[in-house]
Amino acid sequence: MAETERTELGELRIANEVVAIIAGLAATEVQGVAGMSGGIAGGIAEMLGRKNLSKGVKVEVGEEQAAVDLFVVVDYGVHIPTVAWNIQENVKRAIESMTGLQVVEVNVHVQGVHFPLPSSEEKNEEPRVR
């Protein structure tokens, strides 16, 4: 379903996919978000790259309103409630300013935690092979 607006010059339709991409991009802009989650596979959250911004996002778009569900992976060590609130605010602001739709819900589902990989300098291990 696409949001349709009728003007004297014609119709404007905003596809659900467009709203989903806006929401995904706005969510990944928030500090502390490692990426979007494509779901749980084998008990581990599958993290998606920037090419799949609409993945990990479910939207319902009506005539004047939208509701969004976001599935995210957060960075280790962040305060998850603060990150979730920042996601909600950023997504709501982006969708409303770009589409004119009223956002009634932004539900954030934290699917996993991203741990930074240790660099070779941090390991302080002798190489096994010379």
Domain spans in the chain, listed from the N-terminal domain onward: 10-115
Q: How far apart are CA 88 and CA 27, in angstroms?
A: 8
Q: How far apart are CA 28 and CA 32, in angstroms?
A: 9
CA distances from 23 to 94, 115, 118 (A): 7, 24, 31
What band does 52 get if pLDDT is binned at 50, 70 and 90?
A: low
Residue type for position 126: E
Q: How far apart are CA 55 and CA 28, in angstroms?
A: 12
What is the reported pLDDT for 119? 66
Q: How far apart are CA 106 and CA 98, in angstroms?
A: 16
**What pLDDT digit, counting tens, does each position of 16-41 carry?**
999 999 999 999 999 999 999 876 55
Class of domain 10-115: alpha beta
What band does 123 get if pLDDT is binned at 50, 70 and 90?
A: low
